Amino acid sequence: MSKFKMTQIKGVIPAMMTFFDKEENVDIQCTRRMVDFMLDHGADGFYLTGSTGECFTMTAEERNLVVDTVIDQVKGRVPVIVHVGDIGTKKSIELAKHAYEAGADAISSVPPFYWKFRADDIYSYYKDISEATPLPMVVYNIQLAGLMDMGLLLKLADLPNVHGLKYTARSHDEMGYLKEKLGSDFMIYSGCDEMAFSGMCAGADGIIGSFYNLFPDLYKKILAKVEASDIKGGMRLQKIADEVIFAALKYDFPSVLHGMMNWRGLESGYSRKPFYNYEDSELTGLKEEILRIKEKYQAEELDMFHF
């Protein structure tokens, strides 16, 4: 059973990668190690089997295995949100039911994609999934799946079991409006790693992102700057994060994250094909660029640069 209320799910939440071995099987031991690494570095929760987790390359059984493994390793220390999105409602409901039985604290989903679904179809998709379990639903608004407009988001928020929104867009004016409109009990998460500081200033309750796998501790510092109303300090840290992210995104994502984790001795496994996996020698230029960023900002205090 879930341990956390929806309003307790806040802070820095890594959109957790899925860690495969060389044969492209889910690497259970690596997954457990990475859970502990992120918790030790300040993660306030986990968002599982989303796009960063390569969910659409995985079977339902594999996705459920990741969920079971992470929840077992977390042992109730922090909340767990499980992304159950798929093109088909039936599979999403099955994934949602498993998440509930496994002890997740919330579920989430992108809207159905690939075909051009009507707004009514998308509404029905979320209604059916959110009614399938008692878990709160976090609607996931992201460009890759087709951004939903304000009218549809507000309509979805009226569904009894929809209690949150993962907002992965740069229009933080809209995100702030939604937070004001929907109230303190409706949780909104900023999904742009590059704009975490802005998102929190706009009223987000927490941040969910890919690069928090690598350095959740940096983003904890950013959130602390927001709480302290330290605009200058927060912007400095966000600029450091952004320059590292922009350098990394010159390479294939999410596989570049594995390479960057390996620099820190984490042995984080592989992405699944067709994602390309880098040899360490192929990332020499990235490592040099990141060290230049460290020097530029004189950022010795940040653990992310210790490799």
Helix (H, G, I), strand (E, B), or coil: what is residue 212? helix
Backbone dihedral angles phi then psi of residue 113, each to the nearest 5 degrees: -135, -170
Residues 6+ apart with CB under 8 A from 194: 238, 241, 242, 245, 246
DSSP 29-69: HHHHHHHHHHHHTT---EEESSTTTTGGGS-HHHHHHHHHH
> What's the rounded Cα separation, in Å, for the pair 214 and 20?
17
Considering the candidates 100, 126, 140, 278, report the single residue annotated as catalytic. 140
Task: Give the residue numbers of the binding site.
Answer: 52, 208
The span from the CA of 247 to the CA of 287, in Å, is 9
Spatial separation of the C-alpha atoms in residues 155 and 306, rounded to whole Å: 46
> How far is 50 from 32, CA to CA, in rounded Å?
18
For residue 166, indicate whether it is catalytic: yes
Provide the token pair at 252. 């294939």
140 as an active site residue: the answer is yes
The one catalytic residue among 10, 127, 155, 166: 166
Going by the annotation, the residues of the binding site for pyruvate are 52, 208
Measure the CA–CA gap between 46 and 99, rounded to whole angstroms.
13
Which residues have a catalytic role annotated? Answer: 140, 166
